[in-house]
Structure 1
Amino acid sequence: MTLRALHDAARRTLDPVHFDYLAGGTGEERVLADNERAFDRYLLLPRVLCGSETRDTAVDLPGARRTAPVVVAPTAFHRLMHPDGERAAARAAAAEGVVLVTGTAATTAVDGVVEAAREADPDPAVWFQLYLHPRQEVTEALVRRAETAGCTALVVTVDSPVFGRHTRDLRNGFTDLPPGYAAENMRDLPGAPPGSLIDIPMSPALSWRDFGETVRMTSLPVLVKGVLHPADARLAVEHGAAGVIVSNHGGRQCDAVPAAVDCLPAVVGAVADRVPVLLDGGVRRGSDVAVALALGAAAVGVGRPVVWGLAAGGEAGVRAVLGALRDEYDHTLALCGGRRNTDLTKDMIVRRGETW
Structure 2
Amino acid sequence: MHAATAAVVRRATEGDPRVAQTLTERPGTGTADREELARTLLPPEVYAYYASGSGAETTLAEAARAWSAFRLRPRTLRDVRTVSTAARLLGTDLALPVGVAPMAFHALAHPEAERATAAGTDRAGGLFVLSTRCSLRIEDVAAAAGPWWFQVYVMRDRSLTRALVERAAAAGARALLLTGDTPYVGAKRAVGGVRIPLSAEHFLVNLAEHLPADPDVPALTEQDPSIDTDVIAWLQEVSGLPVLVKGVLRGDEAVRCLDAGAAGVVVSNHGGRQLDRAVPAALALAEVVDAVGGRAPVLVDGGVRSGLDVLVALALGADAVLLGRPVLWALAAGGADGVADLLDQVRAELSHAMALVGSPDVAALDRSLVVPAPILPEASP
Normalising by the smaller structure, the TM-score range is over 0.9
* Shift in Å, 1:198: 8.0
Local SS of the residue matching 1:144 = helix
User: How far does residue 203 in structure 1 lie from its aligned partner after superposition?
Assistant: 2.5
Q: Which amino acid aligns with 1:215?
A: Q
Match of 2:181 among 154, 159, 164: 159
**Which range is displaced more, 173-182 or 144-153?**
173-182
In 1, Cα distance between equivalents of 2:187 and 2:220: 17
Distance verdict in 2 for CA 1:76–1:276, change over 3 Å = same
Tell me the alpha carbon deviations over residues 50-108 of structure 1, each in whole angstroms, 9 at most, x when there is no partner: 23211221111125211101010011111011111111101101111100001111101
For residue 363 of structure 2, the aligned residue among 329, 342, 345 is 342
**Are residue 3 (structure 1) and residue 25 (structure 2) matched?**
no
Q: Secondary structure at the match of 2:239?
A: coil
Match of 2:42 among 8, 14, 22: 14
Structure 1 counterpart of 2:179, which letter?
T
Mapped pair 1:137 → 2:159: yes
Runs of 4+ in 1 over 4 A off after TM superposition: 196-199
2:287 to 255, 261, 266: 266
Please, which of 139, 150, 156 is the counterpart of residue 128 of structure 1? 150
Matched, 1:150 2:168: no
Q: 1:298 aligns with which of 302, 319, 322?
A: 319
The residue number in structure 2 matching 1:113 is 141
Q: Which amino acid aligns with 2:93?
A: R
Structure 2 unaligned blocks of 5 or more: 1-28, 376-381
What are the ranges of 5 or more consecutive residues in structure 1 without an aligned counterpart?
A: 118-123
- Give the Å deviation of 1:187: 2.6
For residues 40 and 223 of structure 2, the distance between their equivalents in structure 1, rounded to whole angstroms, comes to 33
Determine if the alignment matches structure 1 residue 240 to structure 2 residue 279. Answer: no
Q: Provide the TM-score with structure 2 as the length reference.
A: 0.86
Secondary structure at 2:202 match in 1: coil
Pick aligned residue for 2:85 from 33, 48, 57: 57
Which residue type is aligned with residue 244 of structure 2?
A: L
Match for residue 328 of structure 2 among 292, 307, 310:
307
Q: Aligned residue for 2:5?
A: none
- 1:169 paired with 2:180, answer no
* 2:248 counterpart letter in structure 1: V
Whole-angstrom distance in 1 between the partners of 2:253 and 2:55: 24
Secondary structure of the residue aligned to 1:176 is coil
- Tell me the equivalent position of 1:286: 307
1:101 aligned residue? 129
Shift of 1:111: 0.8
**1:134: how far off?**
3.3
Please list the CA deviations of residues 20-58 of structure 1 after superposition, one character each: whole Å capped at 9, or x if unmatched: 001110011110011111011111111111232112211
Match of 1:32 among 45, 52, 60: 60
SS at match of 1:10: helix
Match for residue 120 of structure 1? none
Q: 1:64 to 1:19 in 2, by over 3 A?
A: same
Given that 2:118 and 2:144 are in contact with CA atoms closer than 8 Å, whether structure 1 keeps it comes out as yes
Following superposition, the deviation at residue 317 of structure 1 comes to 1.1
With over 3 angstroms needed to count, the CA separation of the structure-2 counterparts of 1:343 and 1:183, relative to structure 1, is farther
Q: CA deviation at 1:186?
A: 2.4
Whole-angstrom CA distance in 2 between matches of 1:178 and 1:307: 21
Please tell me whether the aligned partners of residues 48 and 337 of structure 1 are also in contact (alpha carbons under 8 angstroms): yes
**Residues 180 and 134 of structure 1: is their aligned pair in 2 closer, same or farther, counting only changes over 3 Å?**
closer
Q: How many residues align?
A: 346
Q: Is the 8 A contact 1:134 1:206 kept in 2?
A: no
Taking the aligned partners of 1:5 and 1:280, their CA distance within structure 2 comes to: 21
Matches of 1:139 and 1:207, distance apart in 2: 15
Distance 1:302 1:183 in 2: 26
Give the aligned CA root-mean-square deviation in angstroms.
2.0
Q: CA deviation at 1:353?
A: 6.4
Q: Quick one: which of 169, 187, 192 aligns to 2:208?
A: 187
Give the secondary structure class of the aligned counterpart of 1:184: coil
Distance 1:326 1:129 in 2: 24
Moved more, 260-269 or 206-215: 206-215
Deviation at 1:182, TM superposition (A): 2.6
Structure 1: distance between partners of 2:356 and 2:176: 35
Identity level (%)? 40
How far 1:266 moved relative to its partner? 0.7
